[in-house]
Amino acid sequence: MSAPEESVVVVDYGMGNLRSVSKMMDRTRAPFIVSDNPADILKARRLILPGVGAFGIGMDNLRKRRLLEPLNEAVQVKRTPLLGICLGMELLAESSEEHGHHKGLGWLPADVRRFNIGPELRIPHAGWNGIHHIAANPLFEGVAEGATFYFTHSYVMDCRDPALVTATCDYGEAFAAVVMKDNVFGCQFHPEKSQRNGGIVIHRFLLEDLA
């Protein structure tokens, strides 16, 4: 099935949480399609890059499905707004050290590394945690300071440009919970599992003028 014009496309690259993201999209009643078709990606109004799993496998899957070129054209040339979720956010970086060294999409001057925390805390960081706003972000207007979201991850993003980080979270160390650069947005948490607060973020991503 091909996406209608001006729809939201949830990018299917074989990594994880497509069902929960689809359920969230059903609740918004916004036209959307789950697709790995480059033509759908190129005509999308919004793109969502979800993901659960390992960084290297995620990038390999994007290559195997020939999605790197259409994603780059849509996001970097056409300036289509994209929201990366969890692994999808991590893939926005230049590289990751997860199970070796892997190149990412390279849209953000950042690298992904494992948590640097003491043995008293478990990895992965899994569960509800509050975020701290440090810069304005149009997706988070109406989201209170300290609002909680659902996280599950073992790796975090280090941004070489601190201005890219609009919210942090503390789990043994402060890490980037939300990033933004022009039309590219990323959430380390899962908005689709974060009840009302996650719903606010998704609705604003779908409805705000982000061009």
Both tokens of 36, joined, read: 């790995």
Q: Which residues of 154-170 are buried (b: 16+ CB within 10 A; e: fewer)?
A: ebbbebeeeebbbbbbe
Of 3.40.50.880, 3.40.50.720, 3.80.30.20, 3.30.429.10, the CATH number of 8-207 is: 3.40.50.880
Q: Report the share of the chain in percent with pLDDT over 90.
A: 85
User: What pTM was computed for the model?
Assistant: 0.95
Q: Predicted confidence band at 87 (pLDDT cuts at 50, 70, 90)?
A: very high
Instruction: Quote the longest CA-to-CA distance of the chain.
Output: 50
Given the DSSP bridges, would you call strands 32-35 and 8-11 parallel, antiparallel or unpaired?
A: parallel
Single out the residue of 184, 179, 176 nearest to residue 210, CA to CA. 184
Note the pLDDT of residue 1: 47
Catalogue the active-site residues. 86, 190, 192
What value does the mean pLDDT take over residues 74-90? 97
Tens-digit pLDDT profile for residues 95-109: 999 999 999 999 999
Q: Predicted confidence band at 6 (pLDDT cuts at 50, 70, 90)?
A: low
- Within 8 A by CB and 6+ apart from 143, the residues are 133, 197, 200, 201
